[in-house]
């Protein structure tokens, strides 16, 4: 299914690798102009160079609300508006039992995975409404609806992200802004580089599809939800998990 996003302006956070990079590539292929934001400014710049002038790099940390505000303002100033957003930036965090979880690590994980999405929507929403409406996709996880031992901060953030998405959708859908969440299973991205073969096989075994997902598969659903082909979809949480959650 081909998408035509010509004339649309998008911002993607966590854009320089993995799912974010795949989203940027597919949005650009569909004709959108994209602000590719990432904490790794060099990687974002390399991606923009590879894709051409319709992709603009931006270095920023989503846990800094002033940086997020500047990101949206920069997008509007350079491209002339904002129609679409993918709030994808995220981190994994430490693997420790809840009572042993360090307070600074708890705040670090929520600062990126939850607060960063809130900050992004806070500044994206007015900009999108100013152009007449559009769509936002927040990147959750299968752990937005499932638990995972040793990951209290990550699981809490992704559950909260799903709830925040639904609340925002109720607030803005009648004004032409659709907001949805996507919940990937374990995806074969650079985040898994260095994992030993036994641990990798263990992750694969959790997915009835018999493999991990790809960033392109997650990006395909994300871009569909951003498009007018999904015009009656809002406030929803969509899994891309190879059957993980069906067990």
Which residues participate in catalysis according to the annotation? Answer: 154
C-alpha distances in angstroms, 61 versus 73, 179, 191, 226?
15, 22, 18, 23
> How far lies 152's CA from each of 48, 88, 93, 99, in Å?
35, 19, 9, 10
Residue 47 backbone zone (phi > 0: left; psi -120 to 50: alpha; other: beta): alpha
Task: Give the Cα separation of 64 and 70 in Å (integer).
Answer: 10
Q: CA-to-CA distance for 89 and 61, rounded, in angstroms?
A: 9
Report the Cα 240 to chain-centroid distance in Å.
Answer: 13
User: Dihedral of CA 106/111/115/121: which sign?
Assistant: negative
Going from the C-alpha of 51 to that of each of 3, 20, 63, 192, the distances in angstroms are 18, 14, 27, 25
d(CA 212, CA 201): 10
């Amino acid at each position: 299914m081909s998408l035509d996003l010509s004339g649309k302006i998008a911002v993607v956070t966590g854009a320089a690798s993995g799912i974010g990079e795949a989203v940027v590539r597919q949005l650009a292929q569909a004709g959108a102009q994209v602000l590719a934001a990432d904490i790794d400014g060099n990687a974002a710049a390399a991606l923009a160079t590879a894709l051409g002038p319709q992709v603009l790099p931006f270095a920023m940390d989503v846990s800094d609300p002033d940086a997020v505000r500047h990101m949206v303002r920069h997008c509007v100033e350079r491209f002339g508006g904002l129609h679409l957003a993918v709030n994808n930036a995220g981190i994994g965090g430490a693997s420790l039992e809840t009572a042993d979880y360090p307070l600074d690590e708890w705040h670090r994980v929520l600062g990126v995975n939850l607060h960063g999405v809130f900050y992004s929507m806070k500044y994206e929403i007015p900009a999108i409404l100013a152009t007449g409406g559009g769509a936002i996709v927040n990147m959750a996880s299968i752990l937005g609806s499932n638990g995972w031992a040793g990951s209290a901060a990550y699981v809490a953030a992704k559950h909260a992200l799903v709830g925040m998405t639904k609340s925002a959708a109720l607030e803005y859908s009648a004004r032409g802004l659709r907001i949805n969440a996507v919940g990937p299973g374990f995806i074969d991205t650079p985040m898994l580089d260095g994992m030993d073969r036994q641990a990798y096989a263990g992750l694969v075994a959790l997915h009835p599809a018999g493999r991990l997902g790809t960033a392109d598969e997650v990006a395909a659903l994300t871009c569909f939800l951003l498009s007018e082909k999904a015009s009656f979809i809002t406030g929803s949480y969509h899994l891309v998990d190879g059957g993980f959650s069906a067990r």
